[in-house]
A and B are shown apart, each in its own frame.
Chain A
Amino acid sequence: MSDATADPRYRRKPPKRPLRLSWADERVRGIVWQIVVVGIVGSIIWWLWSNTVHNLEVRRIATGFGFLQREAGLPIAESVIRYDPTDTYLRALTVGVLNTLKVSLIGIVLATILGTLIGIARLSKNYLVAKLAAFYVEVIRDLPLLLQLLFWYTIMQGFPGPRQALNPVEGVFLSNRGLKFPALVWESAHTAALLAFLAGIVLTWLYARAARARQMADGQPRKVWPAAVALLIGLPLLVWQVMGAPWQIDWPALRGFNFQGGMTMSPEYAALLIGLVTYTAGFIAEVVRAGILSVNQGQWEAAQALGLRHGQVLRLIVMPQALRVIIPPMTSNYLNLTKNSSLAVAIGYQDIVSIANTTLNQTGQAIEGIAIIMMVYLTISLSISLFMNWYNAKIALVER
């Protein structure tokens, strides 16, 4: 490519024509068109804006974000951080954002796992497995997500009340109040163990990288798993043991009409998570399938000729190549899942849309409320696409 322009004759810029003030000149037409379009769009926006300002004056609505510091007084059923109805709107909205992130991030992880499994299952040599996966994908993608959410929520509400709760395993209760399960009483030793585990992940990664570098140097494969087990399991256990090994379980128990203790997964959250995961998995499955199919058949055959097993072929040869095709559409599926989590408002899970909607109903600050929703989602969307673009650039094929 570059040698075509190496010739100095091609590199010379075309001579500049003087701008003629005539309709026949393309540049003049371009400028006029731009002025016209910008003028039309600008005047529409100005018209809407002036109407809005006038309407706000007539209705005596004060604009601005001052209301964020007022007491919210809106109850929130589930929250990641401590929240009380006497807290400010700002804190209520923060709870909403965290609830959105809670369902989106867990949903993305689960949908990726389920979607990848179904996508691979659809390519299975086993007729029954392949057809079942195809049936799942067809049906789940042809039904509106909102309908599916309402369906799951109806099922959740159909479970018996707390007194007749299903008790499949000791300490786990399934009722129309949600899923109750035992929880660990959290102490500082657990935080320390968690930090040790995170440190273990980093150390394992560094160790694996060093082992690979040495394998590259002398061709001898080195075992990574003993070190990984020691770092990932041994290190946290050691820290926990040193700090006194606290181990107290909070069991849920029926007291009166409801459960006390333990952890809860609310029916709203469960319905939303199940709906989002099963729906998005249908789309991810198709992306994964297309990605695997895009890898040349010769790659499979060459890998088999080298004596690799089916799973190894998939993991070592096909998937790294398929990922290049998979990542860009995967990004948009992640973005869709995050945006679709806004449907929570229909089944009463209090995400950012639900809380901002209540806020704007209570305060009358419609413009600010919607602006907050949009800003939150734009920020989340932008973060996910930046991360995925970075990952995509990392795995992209490096060509000359």
Chain B
Amino acid sequence: MSDITANTSVPRSAPRREAPVATTGALAWLRANLFSGWLSTAVTLALGYLIVRAVMGLVDWAFINAIWSVPIAPNGQAQTQACRELQGSGACWAVVTEKHRFMLFGTYPYEQHWRPALVCVLFVGLYVVSAMRRFWNWTLVPIWMGTLTVIGILMWGGVFGLPYVPQERWGGLPITLILATFGLAFAFPLSILVALGRRSNLPAIKVLCVLYVELIRGVPLISLLFMASVMFPLFLPEGMNIDKLLRAQIAFILFAGAYLAEVVRAGLQGLPKGQYEAADAMGLSYWQKTGLIILPQALRMVIPPLVNTFIGFFKDTSLVLIIGIFDLLTAGKTAIVEPAWQGFGVEVYVFVGLIYLVFCFAMSKYSAGLEADLNKHRRR
């Protein structure tokens, strides 16, 4: 054996060649994703041209031709002639510069604006803490209660040397966040009860829950808000009156409760039957079974659709505009009622839209990340 190997030379491999340029790297990516055929190439070129045109137009409008501030006359009137002369070729961001405090905080006393600003920060902090999985246990309850109390104190004032601010003067972003947060805080427990009731085998309870969910889901939110604004006063005994914001809040809770209940119900249905039977076999009572075995698993399964429902609900708070509650969108719409600023709606709606976009985009990215994370065990 050894003499054979000694005489034959080991075959050397051919010199290593690079893969053809067209199959690797950026060029290949371009070929595969942008220019894979004549149709694809045509679409890419046409779309690319349109996108470049649109982006250039947008940059021109939003930055190059834009006006960021206008002089204010001694009588407090804004001099918007410069903006009007643009005739739509540039944005008049001066309306945002001038009115952003009003849009964010409404008619809240000007020198006290740090309070609603702090409230917004607290709300965001609350959302961030609630989003962290480390806190998904009972500690969330005292955290929520504490934060909401502090928020109440900050908004109303009247204690700790803070001047009292009546609720009629609240407005802007805090109202949007209050409606959304309190709405969810109350609607979520309600929805769990309704979802459990709908799957209950007690006929009377089941019928009540089905009626509630289907009636609410069959009508638009506006009709509920109208009901809250014109019919609630008739429902209550004479002399007893609850204010507009609270009435809208109740309508929101009823509305969100019905939608969330359906999401929770999906989770309850998705849980394998064995879990229910095993809990029964352990001799747990109904509430022990539900609280210890069923809900922790069922809710975890439906977190992504729950967050999506939260996003929809956050957007829907803007509907209070129609019954005249001063939320972020109403404040934006009111800001351009003043004659000097009439006609600059696009700028204002872009500004307000960006705020909504930041909140909703954060929630939807969080939901997508969570979904990927919770489905890890399913991926092969």
Inside 8 A of A52's CB, which chain B residues have their CB?
A: 234-235
Cα distance A353–B229 in the bound complex, in angstroms: 14
Provide the residues of chain B in CB contact with A157, threshold 8 Å.
345
Does B246 make an interface contact (CB < 8 A)?
no
A304 at the B interface (CB under 8 A): no
With beta carbons under 8 angstroms apart, the residue of A33, A55, A143, A346 that contacts B238 is A55
B284 adjacent to chain A (CB < 8 Å) = no
B319–A343 touching, CB < 8 Å: yes
**Chain B at the A interface: mostly helix, strand, loop or mixed?**
helix
The answer to whether the Cβ of A129 comes within 8 Å of any Cβ in the partner chain is: yes
A48 interface neighbour in B203, B219, B235, Cβ under 8 Å: B235
How many Å lie between the Cα of A37 and that of B196 in the bound state? 14
Say whether, besides A126-B43, A143-B356, A360-B230, A37 and B204 are in contact (CB < 8 Å): yes
Inter-subunit contact A139/B220 (CB<8 Å): no
Q: Is B88 an interface residue, CB under 8 A from the partner?
A: yes
Assess whether A51 is in contact with B237, with CB atoms less than 8 Å apart.
Answer: yes
Asked whether, in the complex, the Cβ of B208 is within 8 Å of the Cβ of A343, the reply is no
Say if the beta carbon of B40 comes within 8 Å of chain A. yes
- Assembled-state Cα–Cα distance A56/B226 (Å): 18
CB pair B202 A55 closer than 8 Å: no
Bound CA span A211–B44, Å: 41
Question: B167: CB under 8 A from chain A?
Answer: no
| CB-based contact A51/B235 at 8 Å | yes
Which residue from B88, B230, B345, B361 sits with its C-beta under 8 Å from A150?
A: B345
Q: Are B238 and A150 in contact (CB under 8 A)?
A: no
A171 at the interface (CB under 8 A from B): no
Q: Which residues of B contact A340 (CB under 8 A)?
A: 220
**Chain A contacts of B233 at CB under 8 A?**
55
Decide if A151 is an interface residue (CB 8 Å cutoff): yes
28 pairs, CB–CB < 8 Å, chain A vs chain B: A30-B201, A33-B202, A33-B205, A37-B204, A51-B234, A125-B33, A128-B43, A142-B315, A143-B360, A144-B315, A144-B316, A146-B318, A146-B321, A150-B329, A150-B345, A155-B346, A158-B343, A158-B346, A339-B219, A339-B220, A366-B231, A369-B230, A370-B223, A370-B227, A373-B219, A373-B226, A374-B219, A381-B218
- The answer to whether A142 and B231 touch (CB under 8 A), given A342-B220, A346-B322, A377-B220, is no
Give the residues from 113 to 141 in chain B that come closer than 8 angstroms, CB to CB, to chain A.
none
How does the 8 Å CB contact mask read for A87-120 relative to B, with 1 for contact and 0 for none? 0000000000000000000000000000000000
Residues of A within 8 A of B219 (CB): 339, 373-374, 377-378, 381
CB distance from B93 to the nearest CB of A (A): 16
- Measured CA separation A158–B347 after assembly (Å): 13
Docked Cα-Cα span, A139 to B234, in Å, equals: 41
Tell yes or no: B63 within 8 A of A by CB: no
The yes or no answer to B366 lying at the interface (CB within 8 A) is no
B264 within 8 A of A: no
Contact with B along A363-388 (1 / 0, CB 8 A): 00011011001100110011000000
Bound-state Cα–Cα, A128 to B43, Å: 9
A260 close to B (CB within 8 Å)? no
Say yes or no: B223 contacts A377, CB within 8 Å: yes
Interface string of B348-364 (1 = CB under 8 A from A): 01001100110011001
Complex CA distance for A343 and B321, rounded to whole angstroms? 10
| Chain B residues closer than 8 Å to A147, beta-carbon distance | 318, 329, 349, 352-353, 356
Determine the distance from Cα of A40 to Cα of B213 in the docked complex, in whole angstroms.
Answer: 18
Q: Which residues of B contact A381 (CB under 8 A)?
A: 217-219
- Is the CB–CB distance between A377 and B218 below 8 Å? yes
Q: Does B179 contact A (CB under 8 A)?
A: no
Assuming A143-B357, A147-B352, A345-B222, is B319 touching A126 (CB within 8 A)? no
Question: Which of B208, B234, B319, B346 interacts with A55 by CB under 8 Å?
Answer: B234
* Cross-chain contact of A382 among B218, B234, B235, B329 (Cβ < 8 A): B218
Query: Does A229 count as interface, using CB distance less than 8 angstroms?
Result: no
In Å, the complex CA distance between A52 and B237 comes to 8
In the complex, which residues of chain A have a beta carbon less than 8 angstroms from the beta carbon of B222? 342-343, 345, 353
Residues A150 and B322 in contact, CB atoms below 8 Å apart:
no
| A34: Cβ under 8 A from any B Cβ | yes
A342 touches B361 (CB 8 A): no
Question: Would you give the 0/1 interface string for A321-345, flagging 1 where the beta carbon is closer than 8 Å to chain B?
Answer: 0000000000000000001101101
Total interface residues in chain B, CB < 8 Å: 55
Is A206 interfacial (CB 8 A cutoff)? no
Residues of A within 8 A of B321 (CB): 146, 346
The tally of residues in A whose CB lies under 8 Å from a CB in B reads: 53
Nearest to B349 among chain A residues (CB) is A151
| The 3 nearest A-B residue pairs measured at CB | A154-B345, A142-B360, A127-B33
Shortest CB distance B173–A (Å): 13
Q: Is the CB–CB distance between A342 and B223 below 8 Å?
A: yes
A266 within 8 A of B: no
Tell me whether A132 is interfacial, beta carbon within 8 Å: yes
Q: Is B244 an interface residue (CB 8 A)?
A: no
Q: Does A54 contact B (CB under 8 A)?
A: yes
B245 smallest CB distance to A (angstroms):
18
Say how far A339's CB is from chain B's closest CB, in angstroms.
4
A216 at the interface (CB under 8 A from B): no
Q: Which of B43-78 contact A (CB under 8 A)?
A: 43-44, 47-48, 51
B34, CB-defined interface residue at 8 Å? yes
A38 at interface by CB-CB < 8 Å = yes
Contact B202 A34 (CB under 8 A): yes
> Is B329 in contact with A144, judged by CB distance below 8 angstroms?
yes
Residues of A within 8 A of B36 (CB): 125-126
B236 is an interface residue with CB less than 8 A from chain A? yes
A357 interface contact, C-beta 8 A: yes
Is B357 touching A34 in the complex (CB atoms < 8 A)?
A: no
**Chain B neighbourhood of A343, CB < 8 A:** 222, 319, 322
User: CA of A339 to CA of B255 in the docked complex: distance in angstroms?
Assistant: 13
Contacts of A378 in B (CB 8 A): 215, 218-219
Q: Is B289 an interface residue (CB 8 A)?
A: no
B residues near A139, Cβ cutoff 8 Å: 357
**A 37-78 contacts with B by CB, 8 A:** 37-38, 41, 48, 51-52, 54-56, 58
Given A33-B202, A34-B202, A146-B321: A151 and B234 within 8 A (CB)? Answer: no
Q: Is the CB of B34 within 8 A of A370?
A: no
Q: Which residues of B contact A313 (CB under 8 A)?
A: none
Asked whether, in the complex, the Cβ of A128 is within 8 Å of the Cβ of B48, the reply is yes
Residues of A within 8 A of B187 (CB): none
Residue of A nearest to B365 (CB): A138
Question: A140-168, CB under 8 A of B: which get 1 and which 0?
Answer: 01111111001100110110000000000
A338 and chain B: residue at smallest CB distance: B220
Q: Do A143 and B345 touch across chains, with their CB atoms under 8 A apart? A: no
Please indicate the chain A residues that have their CB under 8 angstroms from the CB of B40 in the complex. 125-126
Q: Mark B132-161, 1 if CB is under 8 A from A, else 0.
A: 000000000000000000000000000000
